[in-house]
Amino acid sequence: MIDDLKTASEICWMLNFFWKVDMFSALSVSEMDEMIQRMKKMSYKKGESIVRQGEPGDSFFIIHKGRVQAVLRIDAKITDLGELGPEQFFGEMALLLDQPRSATITALEDTDCFVLLKSDFQTLTRQNPAFSRIVRETSEQRSLEINRKS
C-alpha cells in the first residue's frame, strides 16, 4: 500500500533519522527536505517480499516500523544476511551500482518503509558529490560484508 501523505511526527522522525545516520550527514537541510517530500510511505504485510534478488533496483528503503530479513541465494545455497529494523535502510547498492538486487528482503512482521525512487535518489547523488561519495563507501562496505557471509 502506498501513502503519499506523511504526518508531522513521521516528518520529524525522518529528519532525526537523517541527522543521526552518517550516510546522510552530507545533505543540506533543503536536500533533506526535498528527499522527504519525494519519499512515499509503503506498507508490507508479514511474509511479503519487498525486493527480490535479481530484480532491477528501482528504489531505496528506510524502515520506519517493523523488521525485515535479508537472504542471498547462490545456486542451491541460501545465506541469511541478517535482520534490519527501524532506522535501518537497504536498496542503495542496486541504485548506485546500477545492478540487480543483491538479496531478497522479506517482511518478518507488518513493516512500514519510506521509499525513494531511483531517479530521485540519483538526482540527489548528482547534486551533492559528498553525499554520493558517502553512499558509495557505505555500499562498498555492505558489498564486502555480503561477500564475506556468502
Distance between CA atoms of residues 150 and 148, nearest Å: 6
Instruction: Enter the pTM of the model.
Output: 0.85
Strand partners, 63: 113
Residue 3 has pLDDT above 70, yes or no: no
In whole angstroms, what is the distance from residue 73 CA to residue 58 CA?
20
Query: Is 55 or 24 the better-scoring residue by pLDDT?
Result: 55
> Of all helices (H) and strands (E), which one includes residue 96?
helix 92-97
Question: How many of the other CB atoms lie within 10 Å of CB of 60?
Answer: 26
Sheet holding 40-44, edge to edge: 2-3, 40-44, 111-117, 59-65, 89-90
Q: Specify the length of the chain in residues.
A: 150
> What percent of the chain has pLDDT above 70?
94
Residue 2 has pLDDT above 60, yes or no: no
The per-residue pLDDT for range 45-91, each reduced to its tens digit, is: 999 999 999 998 889 999 999 999 999 998 888 899 999 999 999 98
Nearest to 7 by CA among 41, 30, 34: 41
Residue of 148, 140, 128 lying closest to 81 (CA atoms): 148
In the chain, the domains with their CATH numbers are 2-149 (2.60.120.10)
